[in-house]
Amino acid sequence: MFCYNSQREFPWILEVFNLKSYHFCKITEPLIRAEKGLWREVIKHLNQIEEQILECHAWKDDSPLWDVISRAQQNIPQCKEVFPQWRIETFQESLRNDDNGNGAASVAHPSPGCSRSNQGHLDANRAALQRSSAPSSPEASGDNRPPRCDSLALFFRKVYHLAAVRFFDMCERLSNQKGIQKDIQHKIWTCFEHSLVAHIDLMRDRHLDQLLMCALYVGGKVTNFEVINFEAILKCYREQSPKKSHVYRRVYLRRTAGQDERDDVIRFYNDIYVSRMSGFVKSFCSGGRTNDIVCLTPLPRAKYMLNSPKRQISPNVKLFVSPLKVDHFVTPERHTYHFSQSPAKDLLRINETVRSACVDVARKRILLDGDALEDKPPTKKHVLYEKIEAFVRGRQDT
């Protein structure tokens, strides 16, 4: 339907075939992986549909996802349980990278807007890290267990991936592209992950970005990071998603008298989010216990959030292809001829261009199929011209 420019938009197709978005999400990635020759715009369209499912459609009240969660023998997976070890970065690794100068400039140094109290908070965390550098258990040092592969874990892997992409983008926008310290990023991400793992019902009939915005605000509040406030968050979100004003203006609150009560994200934060998360968030306050930093969950590595455009042509051949950047190779003037559609004057213009090339100044020799690959330089340049003339005559005869 997308290829034929249909006016129907997702999720219309789900209503036609009586499908649930949670089940539909399971087939998009296998389809893209199996069909190697898909048009890039089609792949982009399918990815956008999957994002819509992950951010809101799968969390509807009638979604089968809630039945899967209730029947699951395991808890809601954490980020470290669904990603391999090389795709996540622990809080201790972040501080070591910053101290060694290996981190990016945007996270290795505090931004100019950062307060002195916030800098002291980071120094306190570093001191606590040195005191607790020797883990007492394998869990503290990080294990090498393979990630969970059940259906629920695969779904949350996609959810965490999507949330991480938007999280890093929001962090960059909030600090005017100067970056937010990894110390604060870990606290914000830990709050967001805890809201999913311990309070998954907060996502019922809501949007993934709503919990992400609340986590950004509460993380900035407990760390005294002045840059992060709701006004700045909403401004950056409008830049990130300009067509999604309903996400922060019409947030589901509760159902009363058979009708849904909705309001903006600030009221959702004050009435619902704070009451559910206040106990957990207090552990991040400056007066909290020293060993509270060990509860900070790993952060997905930002450099692995974007997929590479390179594609392997065959599992047995280590040859990769990537999209051609045509902007650097397009000639100033292009002539296009569509058979059975373009007028005859377009073909005449192409022929004139080919004829003018025959009498043009000598250019670098192009090896064609009939040219001999010899060590000595060619002495008869008319071979190329003869081939071009033969091509022109063949075009004129047709």
pLDDT for the residue 287: 52
First-to-last alpha carbon distance for the chain, in angstroms, is 37
pLDDT for the residue 88: 86
24: its two tokens = 């539909």
Q: Residues near 3 by Cβ (< 8 Å), separated by ≥ 6?
A: 39, 42
H or E element at residue 391: helix 382-397
Q: Which of 234, 117, 274 is nearest to 183 (CA)?
A: 117
Mind listing the domains of the chain with CATH numbers? Answer: 1-55 (no CATH), 73-132+143-304 (1.10.472.10), 331-397 (no CATH)
Q: Are residues 147 and 77 in contact, defined by beta-carbon separation less than 8 angstroms?
A: no
Q: Which of 192, 200, 210 is nearest to 246 (CA)?
A: 210
Q: Identify the residue whose tokens are 């192409």.
A: 350
65: its two tokens = 């996802």
pLDDT for the residue 227: 76
Mean pLDDT over each residue of the chain, to the nearest integer: 75
Q: Which of 341, 338, 201, 328 is nearest to 276 (CA)?
A: 201
Q: Which of 270, 301, 283 is nearest to 83 (CA)?
A: 301
Distance, in Å, from the CA atom of 41 to the CA atom of 46, rounded to the nearest integer, reads 9
pLDDT for the residue 294: 44
244: its two tokens = 């999604």
352: its two tokens = 């004139």
CA-to-CA dists, residue 249 to 216, 238, 263, 270, 363, angstroms: 17, 12, 6, 14, 63
44: its two tokens = 């982009």
Distance, in Å, from the CA atom of 289 to the CA atom of 280, rounded to the nearest integer, reads 13
Distance, in Å, from the CA atom of 228 to the CA atom of 175, rounded to the nearest integer, reads 8
Low-confidence ranges of the chain (pLDDT < 70): 1-6, 95-143, 177-179, 284-294, 303-318, 320-335, 337, 357-383, 385, 395-398
pLDDT for the residue 196: 95
pLDDT for the residue 121: 47
Distance, in Å, from the CA atom of 276 to the CA atom of 40, rounded to the nearest integer, reads 43
H or E element at residue 311: strand 311-314
pLDDT for the residue 159: 95
The number of beta carbons lying within 10 Å of the beta carbon of residue 295 is 14
Distance, in Å, from the CA atom of 378 to the CA atom of 365, rounded to the nearest integer, reads 9
Q: Residues near 103 by Cβ (< 8 Å), separated by ≥ 6?
A: 94, 97, 182
| DSSP-derived secondary structure letter, 235 | H
Distance, in Å, from the CA atom of 60 to the CA atom of 75, rounded to the nearest integer, reads 20
Render pLDDT for 196-255 as a digit per residue (tens, 0 to 9).
Answer: 999 999 999 999 999 999 999 998 888 888 778 899 999 999 999 888 899 999 999 998
Q: Which of 160, 288, 271, 265 is nearest to 217 (CA)?
A: 265
354: its two tokens = 């080919």
Phi (first) and psi of residue 262, to 5 degrees:
-130, 150
